[in-house]
Structure 1
Amino acid sequence: MTERRDRFTGDASILYHTAVRTPLSTKQAERMFYENMTNIAEAREQRAEMLADPDVPLLAAYEAELDRVAASFKRRLRRIAGEEYAEVAMAYHRGERDDRIGRLTAYYMEGLWRIQERTTITDMLFFPLILRYPDSFTVNVRFASGYKTTESVIYESPEHSSEELDDEHAETYYNESQYSQREAAAYVRETAQLIREEFPDPDETPFEDRKYGGIVSAGGRRESAFSSMLTSVEPDPERFDEPVSEPVLVDAGREAERTEQTLLPECEIIL
Structure 2
Amino acid sequence: MGSQRERYNGSLDVLHGRAVVTPLPDEDAEREFHRNMMRVADAQERKAAMLADPDVPLLEAYEREMEEIADTYRNRLRSVAGEDYESVAFAYARGERDDAVGAIAAYYLEGIWRMQQRITVLDMLFFPIILRYPDCFTVNLRFAAGHRTTRSVLYESPEHLTERLEAEHAATYAEESLYTQREAAKLVEETAEILREEFPHPDEAPFEERRYGGIVCAGGRKDTVFSSMLERVEPDPDRFAEAPTEPGLVESGPEAERTERELLPEGAFVL
Q: TM-score, normalised by structure 2?
A: 0.96
Match of 1:19 in 2: 19
For the Cα contact (< 8 Å) 2:5–2:113, is it kept in 1? no
Q: How many residue pairs end up in the alignment?
A: 268
Q: 3-state DSSP class of the match of 2:155?
A: strand
Q: Does 1:109 align with 2:109?
A: yes
Cα deviation digits, residues 35-72 of structure 1 (max 9, x gap): 11111000000000000000000000111111111111
1:164 Cα deviation from its structure 2 partner: 1.3
Match of 1:148 in 2: 148
Match of 2:261 in 1: 261
1:170 Cα deviation from its structure 2 partner: 0.5
Q: Does 1:212 align with 2:197?
A: no
Distance 1:109 1:13 in 2: 13
Aligned-residue Cα RMSD (Å) equals 1.3
Distance 2:194 2:93 in 1: 37
Cα deviation digits, residues 176-227 of structure 1 (max 9, x gap): 0000000000000011110001111110101111100000000000011000
For the Cα contact (< 8 Å) 2:216–2:232, is it kept in 1? yes
Match of 2:29 in 1: 29
1:34 Cα deviation from its structure 2 partner: 0.6
Match of 1:157 in 2: 157
Match of 1:63 in 2: 63
Q: 3-state DSSP class of the match of 2:137?
A: strand
Q: Does 1:9 align with 2:1?
A: no
For the Cα contact (< 8 Å) 1:8–1:86, is it kept in 2? no
What is the one-letter code of the residue matched to 1:207? F
Where in structure 2 are there 5+ consecutive unaligned residues? none
1:148 Cα deviation from its structure 2 partner: 0.1
Q: Does 1:192 align with 2:192?
A: yes
Match of 2:252 in 1: 252
Q: TM-score, normalised by structure 1?
A: 0.96
What is the one-letter code of the residue matched to 2:269? E
1:146 Cα deviation from its structure 2 partner: 0.1
Distance 1:65 1:59 in 2: 10
1:261 Cα deviation from its structure 2 partner: 0.5
1:15 Cα deviation from its structure 2 partner: 0.6
What is the one-letter code of the residue matched to 1:38? M
For the Cα contact (< 8 Å) 1:154–1:180, is it kept in 2? yes
Same amino acid, percent of matched pairs: 59
Distance 1:171 1:99 in 2: 57
Match of 1:49 in 2: 49
What is the one-letter code of the residue matched to 1:9? Y
Distance 2:5 2:70 in 1: 21
1:265 Cα deviation from its structure 2 partner: 3.2
What is the one-letter code of the residue matched to 1:221? R
Q: Aligned pair in 2 of structure 1 residues 20, 191: CA closer, same or farther (>3 Å)?
A: same
Where in structure 1 are there 5+ consecutive unaligned residues? none
Match of 1:180 in 2: 180
For the Cα contact (< 8 Å) 1:154–1:225, is it kept in 2? yes
Q: Does 1:136 align with 2:116?
A: no
Distance 1:7 1:234 in 2: 37
Q: Which has the higher mean CA deviation after the structures are superposed, 260-269 or 174-183?
A: 260-269
Q: Aligned pair in 2 of structure 1 residues 35, 6: CA closer, same or farther (>3 Å)?
A: closer
Q: 3-state DSSP class of the match of 1:144?
A: strand
Distance 1:6 1:70 in 2: 15
Distance 2:61 2:90 in 1: 31
Match of 1:77 in 2: 77
For the Cα contact (< 8 Å) 2:47–2:62, is it kept in 1? yes
